[in-house]
Structure 1
Amino acid sequence: MKAKTIFALLFSGALAVSAGCTGGDTKPDEKQTEEKVQKGDQADQKVDERGIPELAPLQMADKDAEIKKLGEVNGTTAYKVGDVTVLHKETPANSVVAARVYISGGATHLTEKTSGIERLALNTAVSGGTESHPKDEFNALLDSMGSSVAAFSDRDFSGYTMKSVVDNFDKTWELMLESMLEPKLPQEELELQRQRHLADIRSLNENPDRLVGHVATKLLFEGHPYHTLQLGTEENVEAFTQKQTAAYQRAMLRPEKMTVVVVGNVSDEKILSQVQKLAKIQPQASLPDQQLTPYNVEKAKLKVEEKDIPTNYIFGLFPAPSPGDEDYEAMLVAVEYLRDRLFEEVRTKRNLTYAVSSGLSDRRVNYGYLYVTAVDPAKTMPVIFSEVQKLKDGELTDEQLEQSRNVFITEHYMGLETNGSQASLLARSELIAGDWKEHADAIERFQAVSPEDVQRVAEKYMKNYQFGIVGKKSQIDEGLFLNGTPTQAEPTAEKE
């Protein structure tokens, strides 16, 4: 399984929960940052005690926005409709249409006082019906077409998504737009979504995999906008009012922040016509918009969350190049190859774990990771560090690199079998890598990576690990984790 897929399965919940469970008092420098953001971007509008702007009326331009074609690459065409970016890939081979409206910002819009509201607002907007169609009627219409409308929230962006067959694209798109432009946001639905949200936060301690992600990301994201993540705190989520939720959802609707991605057998003309409603929005309110900066990681750190469990869950993060960076493909090769080596050396040969991996995330400010569950960390970690050191020492051969490439390319194409996965790739290119054309030559860039490139990026990035551990403190050698190098002889592989 591809490393990033493993990461998603193991840690998507953990990292989401870690978003808002930071709690505690705001540090002085964080207060200054928060005040600067609010005074800078929101100086001309009234905000409440949490920095949320007043609910502004939805105003629309009278005329259609100008349409400009940006280019076409590998079957994907890009446009600007006013300030809205549109990416369309036509797929005549199937009858499913996947469409998403991404709103860039994510964690950069949030503060300690508003963490959690974006997810709560979006989930309520798509679940509570609209001014034109109450909840039951809205859901009945979707069910009658076999369509779906949902919301998503993440560190770098949030938004709305729909899926339908081609014949029902127009009707489903209209329902999704209603949930954006005229959501009902009834109090009873807000309370339902609030309770689900709170249950998710409170379940953090029940799953060591989720908890270890929370512990590690708190270390890496300290002092960074990603520190204030989407799930929020119990205190915040319990307190948000219907008025605040509606105001925040409305303030998110800014055309210059929107990227529409459509993959399916529909014409460019139809899509561009449908996007005009979004392009006509004339924003009356704004949200904080913090700048993403590199992580402030100067040395290795370790945080152990004590739990009386038989296995220690270990998750180490390190700053890494983002998609679009010249080192990204080499770093991806490094962690993909390392993943296979760790499985062979730690699990297969020595039987020290049932789960071990390495991988690379996809963020505007990115990170890689090492992960293992270990009954005996003193035996397990030296093996992991030794395999990392082999990468740094240049022990990867051309033949091993070619094998890793072949596996990656196969998994890459298998991962693009659905229209939804293709939409995600296009959005990643535009919003994370910064260029919608970036996906077109990804395989060529991957194939150009040399063993020397892998050695260079391993040496450059794989250090100063931010280790989160859930387990028994008595079994953790702090020096071993903070040094990041083998501190004892490797245990020999068990004889068969």
Structure 2
Amino acid sequence: MTRHLLAALIALTGSVAHAQRAWSVERGAWQVRESAPRSTLHAPRSAVAADTSTQSFDVGGVNVILRRVTANDVVAANLYLLGGTRLVGFDKAGIEPFLLLASERGTTGYPRDLLRRRMAELGTQVGPSADQDWTTFALRATGETFDSTWAIFADRVMRPTLDSGEVELVRSQLLNGVRQRRDDPDALLEYLADSVAYAGHPYGVEPNGTEQSIARITLADLRQFQRERMVTSRMLLVVVGNVSRPQVERLVGATLAKLPRGDFRWAPPPPPAAFTPTLVTETRSLPTNYILGYYAGPPATGRDYHALRIATAVLTGRLFSEIRAKRNLTYAVDAPFIDRAQTAGGLYVTTVDPNTTLRVMRQQIAELQNGWVTPRGLEQVVQQFITEYFLKNETNADQANQLARAQLYQGDWRHAVQFADELRQVTPDDVRRVLRTYIKNVRFVYVGDPSKLDRSVVAGF
């Protein structure tokens, strides 16, 4: 979602640090209230209509979710290889995307030049992306080219050649990419923030690897990982497009289903250890200073999952209004929701005046923690949130990700269909409660000039 598009609206719904006062969008004034009443937004709703276009089934041990979409000719197939950084630890961080990228250099059925020529002829795409909870191997094709692209896709998973010379070329490219991360302040900030907030936890492991881990991964390590970890018990395949179940069953049955079953069982990682207030600084000579802090959120299975998602949207609007629009202290401020099996929230800003900016940020958080938004105001925020969310998630590939997250994080793909209704159940009291419960013991990372930062200001979080 583009949070800044919500900022003006969300700012109107803000509340101050007086428990009996709330801003009324309808009346344009502060009202005295005993408590925040419920609006029709939270009235019982009829059950969500059955999603007859989506089904789940098993093909030889591979779990499959298929959504039939006939409105376009694009087919998105995402293979989620579960486990993420828990499987590898710090020493072998990045090994799975390394392996999948190396598979582009040739497989048993498609030597390098043939593979490249065939992909160019088809005009389709195959490639990996790594996150803390899983690695995604994605296919993008049309209905006409899906079968042919699948053959290459599956062979890259099952039978990569892993020629030593080609592997070294991929390693060199990966190392260059990792080194460039230090040249991008935002990329460096996010990397350090995960490392600091989740020290000793799987989420503290960089899924794409570090300079040290990529350098130490051997050809033998890659071959062993492919042999032992490419098992069907780790796989969730989500296909969205104009393809039929028999077609998917035929393709999977002839390829991925022939892999070993393995004994992997998907479960969320354990919660991180209790956060303690932290500040880590990285000195850089930059035009501005970059600040990002994380605080621990609820598990995705918890009742506060969607409440914190909405609360961070409300907070983003307040911060945008007060820090950027009114005071011109920044060009970028955000309160991101970190959507993982174990969620988190964040506080992000770039500024030349970190002390003033952080004080205003702390003040706005306190006002929302001790006040509330009006039900009507929250209803407007939620509806705008839903609109922007679905505008950004309308492609077949985005729908595949929605279905996978619902299945893996909440236990049932149908939560993706119920997403809007679940957001509408969040109340003003929920917003205040989760902001009070979770925004504390923030672990901050600061990239820039540390002489401009008063550490006592950070300690206030």
Alignment TM-score > 0.5, same fold: yes
Q: Give the paired residue count.
A: 417
State the 1:463 CA deviation. Answer: 1.0
The structure-2 alpha-carbon separation of the partners of 1:160 and 1:203, relative to structure 1 and needing over 3 Å to count, comes to: same
Match of 2:391 among 367, 389, 414: 414
**5+ residue gaps in structure 2?**
7-49
Match of 2:382 among 405, 414, 423: 405
Residue in structure 2 matched with residue 332 of structure 1 by the alignment? 309
Match of 1:449 among 417, 421, 426: 426
The structure-2 alpha-carbon separation of the partners of 1:288 and 1:102, relative to structure 1 and needing over 3 Å to count, comes to: closer
CA distance in structure 2 between the partners assigned to 1:469 and 1:287 by the alignment: 38
**5+ residue gaps in structure 1?**
7-71, 485-496
CA distance in structure 2 between the partners assigned to 1:349 and 1:434 by the alignment: 43
The structure-2 alpha-carbon separation of the partners of 1:427 and 1:290, relative to structure 1 and needing over 3 Å to count, comes to: closer
Residue in structure 2 matched with residue 76 of structure 1 by the alignment? 54
1:319 partner letter: A
1:143 matched to 2:134? The reply is no
1:188 matched to 2:165? The reply is yes
The structure-2 alpha-carbon separation of the partners of 1:365 and 1:291, relative to structure 1 and needing over 3 Å to count, comes to: closer
1:439 partner letter: A
Q: Is the 8 A contact 2:275 2:296 kept in 1?
A: no
State the 1:2 CA deviation. Answer: 2.8
CA distance in structure 2 between the partners assigned to 1:445 and 1:291 by the alignment: 21
Write the deviation string for residues 230-278 of structure 1: whole angstroms up to 9, x where unpaired: 2223233223222221221232211111101000001111112222232
2:441 partner letter: N
Write the deviation string for residues 295-354 of structure 1: whole angstroms up to 9, x where unpaired: 113421111111122311000101112434211111111111111111111011001111
State the 1:287 CA deviation. Answer: 8.8
Query: What secondary structure sits across from 1:409 in the alignment?
Result: helix
TM-score (norm 1): 0.80
CA distance in structure 2 between the partners assigned to 1:458 and 1:219 by the alignment: 22
Q: Is the 8 A contact 1:394 1:451 kept in 2?
A: no
Query: What secondary structure sits across from 1:167 in the alignment?
Result: coil
State the 1:215 CA deviation. Answer: 2.1
1:252 matched to 2:229? The reply is yes
State the 1:290 CA deviation. Answer: 9.7
Match of 1:101 among 61, 79, 86: 79
Please say which of residues 175-184 and 397-406 is displaced more in the overlay. Answer: 397-406
Please say which of residues 236-245 and 144-153 is displaced more in the overlay. Answer: 236-245
State the 1:5 CA deviation. Answer: 11
Match of 1:378 among 349, 352, 355: 355
Residue in structure 2 matched with residue 120 of structure 1 by the alignment? 98
Residue in structure 2 matched with residue 2 of structure 1 by the alignment? 2
2:376 partner letter: E
Write the deviation string for residues 383-419 of structure 1: whole angstroms up to 9, x where unpaired: 1111111221123122321221121111122123211
Q: Is the 8 A contact 1:322 1:362 kept in 2?
A: no
Q: Is the 8 A contact 2:171 2:215 kept in 1?
A: yes
CA distance in structure 2 between the partners assigned to 1:236 and 1:473 by the alignment: 29
CA distance in structure 2 between the partners assigned to 1:152 and 1:421 by the alignment: 14
Please say which of residues 234-243 and 343-352 is displaced more in the overlay. Answer: 234-243
2:379 partner letter: E
Match of 1:89 among 67, 73, 97: 67
1:297 matched to 2:299? The reply is no
TM-score (norm 2): 0.86
Please say which of residues 406-415 and 286-295 is displaced more in the overlay. Answer: 286-295
CA distance in structure 2 between the partners assigned to 1:421 and 1:5 by the alignment: 20
1:391 matched to 2:368? The reply is yes
CA distance in structure 2 between the partners assigned to 1:86 and 1:447 by the alignment: 29
The structure-2 alpha-carbon separation of the partners of 1:367 and 1:439, relative to structure 1 and needing over 3 Å to count, comes to: same
State the 1:189 CA deviation. Answer: 2.1
State the 1:152 CA deviation. Answer: 2.0
The structure-2 alpha-carbon separation of the partners of 1:268 and 1:364, relative to structure 1 and needing over 3 Å to count, comes to: same
Query: What secondary structure sits across from 1:98 in the alignment?
Result: strand
State the 1:88 CA deviation. Answer: 0.4
Asked which structure has the greater RCO (Cα within 8 Å, sep 6+), the reply is 2
State the 1:79 CA deviation. Answer: 0.8
Query: What secondary structure sits across from 1:92 in the alignment?
Result: coil
Counting aligned pairs with the same residue, the percent is 34
CA distance in structure 2 between the partners assigned to 1:124 and 1:266 by the alignment: 29
2:342 partner letter: V
Q: Is the 8 A contact 1:90 1:263 kept in 2?
A: yes
Residue in structure 1 matched with residue 9 of structure 2 by the alignment? none
CA distance in structure 1 between the partners assigned to 2:372 and 2:192 by the alignment: 33
Q: Is the 8 A contact 2:307 2:431 kept in 1?
A: yes
Query: What secondary structure sits across from 2:336 in the alignment?
Result: strand
Match of 1:365 among 325, 342, 354: 342
1:436 partner letter: W
Q: Is the 8 A contact 2:275 2:442 kept in 1?
A: no
2:66 partner letter: H
2:196 partner letter: L
CA distance in structure 2 between the partners assigned to 1:3 and 1:483 by the alignment: 26
Q: Is the 8 A contact 1:391 1:455 kept in 2?
A: yes
